[in-house]
């Protein structure tokens, strides 16, 4: 059994704040401060360049990749960390496209813009007549024809929380001869994932959302062992080389997923992530999922009983990830008013109020209070003030 009051105690959360944005940037683990400061003073400070070997900095991307692998159904040696999610997605897509002669990449219209931008940028560079085909999320299955080379999807929709059926769509993709790339940005640390069981080909995700690795924490990439020894590393940096310290002028791709490393890893960021992953160590993902659903249902029921907000997320909990969204025409101002009252969610254009339901540090009391505050703001019209309508650079 996972004790969620114990996991909550391991985060440093500001008092008087209910944080429903752990799906966008997780809070700071208490142990992270000391871990990062230790990495600075004991490792960087004392060992200097020796830290790469003595402190194991060079192995961090694979070592921490294994710790994340446990949470997403991958075996040791199949996940590596580095760079950002946009870059890891680019690498996965470049590798997948190199394995097929087909020119269509199928995705859905709800996918995160950066994933679409990166795909289009790659296709422009390849200049080989690729097409990024976008269909509505419900149409993906019928759009999987034998023209499709790569199915590139984000499992959990960043706006609505709608989940794709990873196992079913992967099986269908394989039937038509397509490879799959799953973006787990809103899934990793949010729900149980079984990449091996689903026979996913590639997967990518970030560590600063549900995994709580901190702003700028590196992304991860998974490559199925069916492909990892031939996958083409489009960003063939020296640390993905089989023997970086041979300084050979010729590139030889490293073993397995390590070839997806590019350059120098962000050591201090990874120290923070390592502390965050300690918290995940004792967490049973099935228990996390049950708790996430309980809290999400409580939030939806309370908000719906007190407002006429339209639920933007699937009503069926099994079709929803770990965030809940409602629509409001003045969603931005409503969210600003909520934040001013100490309830932090976020706003996604054009009209989505988004609330991350993160059992590691939220309980029923938080959920009730957040819902009651939202109800009050809408009932009193407290959101309709000029200062709440003024847009900030980050929403």
Residues with catalytic function: 112, 183, 208-209, 354
Of the candidates 114, 324, 77, 93, the residue with the CA atom closest to the CA atom of residue 206:
114
Shortest CB 392 distance to ligand PLP, Å: 18
Query: Following DSSP, what letter does each residue of 44-88 receive, concatenated?
Result: IIHHGGGHHHHT-GGGHHHHHHHHHHHHHT--TTSEEEES-HHHH
Dihedral angle sign, alpha carbons of residues 338, 340, 346, 349: positive
Helices 60-72, 267-281: inter-axial angle, 10-degree rounding: 30
Shortest CB 39 distance to ligand PLP, Å: 22
Which residue, 164 or 186, has its beta carbon nearer to ligand PLP? 186
Shortest CB 323 distance to ligand PLP, Å: 11
Query: At which residue do the structure tokens 């590596």 appear?
Result: 80
Shortest CB 356 distance to ligand PLP, Å: 12
Which residue, 187 or 258, has its beta carbon nearer to ligand PLP? 187
Q: What are phi and psi of 320, to 5 degrees?
A: -120, 145
The Cα–Cα gap between 16 and 340 comes to 11
Beta carbons within 8 Å of 246's beta carbon, 6+ residues apart: none
The Cα–Cα gap between 274 and 277 comes to 5
What beta strand segments (E) does 63-192 contain?
Answer: 79-82, 104-108, 131-135, 148-154, 179-183
Which residue, 68 or 309, has its beta carbon nearer to ligand PLP? 68
The Cα–Cα gap between 244 and 237 comes to 9
Point out which residues bind ligand PLP (CB under 6 A): 84-86, 112, 114-115, 154, 158, 183, 185-186, 206, 219
Which residue, 21 or 115, has its beta carbon nearer to ligand PLP? 115
Which residue, 182 or 388, has its beta carbon nearer to ligand PLP? 182
**DSSP β-ladder status, 179-183 and 202-205:** parallel
Which residue, 108 or 366, has its beta carbon nearer to ligand PLP? 108
Alpha helices (runs of H) in 199-340, residue ranges in sequence order: 267-281, 285-306, 331-340
Of the candidates 80, 118, 368, the residue with the CA atom closest to the CA atom of residue 220:
80
Shortest CB 22 distance to ligand PLP, Å: 13
Whether omega for the bond prior to residue 350 falls within 30 degrees of 0, making it cis, is yes
Shortest CB 6 distance to ligand PLP, Å: 28
């Amino acid at each position: 059994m996972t004790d969620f009051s114990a996991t909550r105690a391991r985060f440093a959360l500001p008092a008087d704040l209910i944080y429903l944005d752990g799906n966008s940037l997780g809070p700071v683990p208490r142990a992270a401060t000391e871990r990062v400061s230790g990495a600075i003073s004991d490792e960087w400070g004392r060992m200097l360049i020796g830290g790469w070997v003595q402190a194991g900095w060079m192995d961090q991307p694979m070592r921490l990749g294994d710790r994340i692998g446990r949470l997403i159904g991958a075996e040791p040696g199949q996940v590596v960390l580095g760079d950002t999610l946009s870059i890891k997605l680019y690498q996965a897509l470049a590798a997948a496209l190199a394995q097929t002669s087909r020119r269509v990449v199928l995705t859905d219209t709800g996918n995160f813009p950066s994933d679409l931008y990166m795909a289009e940028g790659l296709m422009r560079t390849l200049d080989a007549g690729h097409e990024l085909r976008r269909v509505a999320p419900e149409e993906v299955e019928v759009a999987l024809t034998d023209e499709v080379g790569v199915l590139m999807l984000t499992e959990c929709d960043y706006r609505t929380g709608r989940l794709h059926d990873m196992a079913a769509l992967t099986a269908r993709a394989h039937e038509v001869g397509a490879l799959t790339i799953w973006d787990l940005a809103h899934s990793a640390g949010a729900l149980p994932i079984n990449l091996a069981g689903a026979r996913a080909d590639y997967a990518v995700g970030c560590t600063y959302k549900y995994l709580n690795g901190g702003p700028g924490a590196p992304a991860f990439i998974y490559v199925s062992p069916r492909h990892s020894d031939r996958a083409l590393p489009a960003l063939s940096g020296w640390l993905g080389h089989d023997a970086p310290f041979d300084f050979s002028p010729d590139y030889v791709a490293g073993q397995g997923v390590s070839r997806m490393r590019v350059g120098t890893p962000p050591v201090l960021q990874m120290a923070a992530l390592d502390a965050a992953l300690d918290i995940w160590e004792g967490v049973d993902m099935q228990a996390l999922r049950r708790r996430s659903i309980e809290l999400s249902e409580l939030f939806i029921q309370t908000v719906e009983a007190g407002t006429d907000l339209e639920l933007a997320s699937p009503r069926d909990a099994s079709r929803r990830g770990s965030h809940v969204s409602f629509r409001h025409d003045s969603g931005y101002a409503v969210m600003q008013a909520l934040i001013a009252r100490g309830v932090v969610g976020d706003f996604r254009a054009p009209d989505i109020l988004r609330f991350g339901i993160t059992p590691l540090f939220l309980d029923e009391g938080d959920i009730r209070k957040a819902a009651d505050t939202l109800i009050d703001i809408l009932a009193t019209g407290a959101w309709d003030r000029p200062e709440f309508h003024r847009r900030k650079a980050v929403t």
